[in-house]
Each structure stands twice: as C-alpha cells, then as structure tokens.
Structure 1
Amino acid sequence: MRLICLPHAGGTASFFRSWAGAFGGGVEVLSARYPGRQDRIAEPCLESMAALADAVVEGLRPFLDRPLALFGHSMGASVAYEVALRLEDQYGVRPQGLYVSSRAAPHRVAPSSVHLQGDEAIIEHVRGLGGSDTAVLDDPDLRELVMPAIRSDFRIVGTYRAPSPIPVRCPIFAYVGDRDPNVGTADMEAWSEVAAGGFALRVLPGDHFYLVPQQGDLIRDLESRMASS
C-alpha cells in the first residue's frame, strides 16, 4: 500500500521524512511537494484549494497502480478530502482510508482573514500553532524564501469551505491533540458526516502539532488501521 501525506499550510514534504522507514515493508510513504517550495521554489504558488487538489491528483496519476491511503495534517486534511473526491470521481479509485489530522470537517471550517492582515499577522499565527518548522521564520533570509508559500497557503485556508459537503466512500479516521488551540474534538467528530465508509476518532496528547512528539503512537495506530482495511 502507498500512504500519501499532505503537509500543513507553510509545510513541506520533508515534514514527513522520518515517516519513510517507520512503517513495515508493506507501506510505501510518499509526501506531496507543493509548488513554490524546496526544489519547486521557482514555480508559482497555487492560490485555491481546487487548484492545489487538482495538482496533487495529477501528480498521483503514476501511483494509482497500487492501493493507497491519504493522510493530511491541518490544511493537508482538507487537501486530502478534496483529493479523495477527485480520485473517486475521475479515476474510480477509492482510497483505502482517509486519515485527517487537526483540521475541522470541510463543512465546519470557519472562514479566516489572517491572510488579509499582512505578514506579521501570518507569522504570529504560525508561531501560535507551534511546530518545528517555525525556526526558519527567525532568519530574515530564510523568511524571505518561505513567505510566498505561507501567504498562498493561508489564502487557501482562509477561503476554503465546502458548504454542501460530499461524502467520501472510504472510511475516515480523525486525529487531534487534546490541547489544540484551534481545533476541538467536535470539529473532528463532524468528519463522520462525510464518512460513508465508517468513522473513528482518536485524541492524542499535545497541541496542533501533537504528531511530532506522538509520532510513534500515531504511526502504530495508522499501521494497524491500514493493515485491517
């Protein structure tokens, strides 16, 4: 099976680097590298959820020969949901599981104006969420490089909502930290309303980036669920 990982707003594919060898031999981990960062830094950033999900699906076309599951953290959870819908609709591919982390269900996402308030407001919001990749914001040169992608991602986050959500046919498994400042268990439980194939929620200790200190427990849970799907 392939596990496709979708990063958070401002995140990069390397966020999931340590996952590559963490599963058994039966799971291949791939991480999406969005335009405008790392070795795609010269490419223009995408400005809408539809454009980003379409790009991910196009990138996945060579990898549809094996069963796959999708894991998305924060913004990546919304991307994963939209990708699952497109895979089902365009290719008849039903993921074996949609794993969503620290992001409200598509019809519960609240509009945000952070992307309209300038770089300092965005940076303050990013710091408030925590995460290991905030260190790059302390270096003016690195900040200059990463801010275009962060701005675009927060525009996507702030403008995305699915007022009439479409259920996915695969099971949805939701994860959230018990001290997440922005996403609560009710937000995650609402994913059950778009889970035609079943739903389960697990709450782990930690904040919005609980999956860093709790990586071991999370991966064991993911591996168990993928093995039984």
Structure 2
Amino acid sequence: MSFEPRIEVQPDADALATAVAGELLSRLADLQASGGTPQIGLTGGTIAEAVHRELARLSPDADVDWGRVVVWFGDERFVPAGSPDRNAGQARAAFLDAVGATQVHEVPAADQVATAAEAAEAYGNAMREHGAGSFDVLMLGIGPDGHVASLFPGRPELDADDSVAVAVADSPKPPPERVSLTFAALNRADVVWFLASGEGKAEAVGRALAPEGSIAETPARGVNGSVETTWWLDRDSASAV
C-alpha cells in the first residue's frame, strides 16, 4: 500500500531538531506502554547530530526506557572503531551512552574485520538474529545528490536487493568505504522519517518529492514506510517543494 508522504516544516534547524526528538520520544513511550520493544534506525549528518543532542536533553523528562530500545544504523563508514567519522561513535557521544541505551547494534569497524564486505555480512546476520523484521521508526538523511544511507545515484548498490546490507567501495563522498542497508532492508519500516536542513538540501528534497523522477537519479525516492513516511524539513530545505 502506498501513502502520500507527510511534510513537516519547522522555522529553522533548531526547531526541527526539537520537534523530531520530542515526537520520537512520544512514539517510543507509546510503543513501550503497549508492551513493545521499539526498534529504531539512526542516521548521521548535521541535523541528526542536533536531534541526538535534543534527545539527550529531553530524555530525562520522557517516559522512555532506553534499555528497552533496540538501535540500528542505516549506514556506516568503514573506518576504525575510534574514528570520529563513525555514525555510531557520534550517536553514542551525543546521546546513546547518556540515556542508557544498551541494545545498540553497530556495523563492525575496519579494525574489527578485514573488509567492508565482511562487515556488511556480519551486520546483516545481526539484523536477522536481533531485528524484529521491521523498524518501528527509521530515520534517514538525504544528500545534496539525493543519496540515502550510503546508496548513491547510479551505483550498483541500488540493485543489491538480495541482502540486508551491502559494502560500498569508491564512495563519491568520503570516506570511500562504507556499509549500507539495502533498499530491501530500509523498506522494512513501519515509519520512515527523512531529516533535512539547509538550502544545500533543497534541490534534492524537491526531486525526492516530485511527482515524477527515478530512483537511480534520486535514491531517496526508493524508501517509504509501510504506515507513514514523513519529511521533517526546515524552511530552507523545504524551499523547492
């Protein structure tokens, strides 16, 4: 079933981060109140960092047990575990450690396995073992080129639907080696939230939401939640919608 995406526009990046963090905490509290153990997917990037800081700030007053939230990442840079480029490291520093998240599933790092392909296989196996079959909420960014996770325009990884995660070599955006969930995995989500802030994202957001266009050109067009897809934008990133 296909749903029209919702578009939520906030005045600026700060307001956007606060709105997303507040809504996520509300959803997690509701899921836990009904007996669920929420499974969420995090993303990297500047606006995600702002959301994570707001989660750290707002969580003490929220009725969320972060020890009962299962955390995944839509993609990861294949670099050593201590690298500041790691999405997981950034999220831990910004909020996961502070709020007491204990069920955090990271993509193996470059000093833990030999190749990005091994990391992708291990991450896929972990998701098969510990995942619930779908994300309750999956947060994603969009690049100025329209990429989502580490699925870039015109790349062979766009067609890798026979696996959970795929290795990416020679990424057009540094670092060159990455691991990304595939479209098959990203689309196993009840709720997908795209986060975008700033004028630099406006053109890509406009292409992603246009009535016509190709996934090969704008990979973000290829991910939708089964129940809800919401684009969380600020005025600048929404200017071409």
Please state which structure has a larger fraction of its residues in helix: 1
Please state which structure has a larger fraction of its residues in strand: 2
The normalised TM-score by structure 2 is 0.31
The normalised TM-score by structure 1 is 0.32
User: Bigger relative contact order, structure 1 or 2, given CA contacts below 8 A and separation 6+?
Assistant: 2
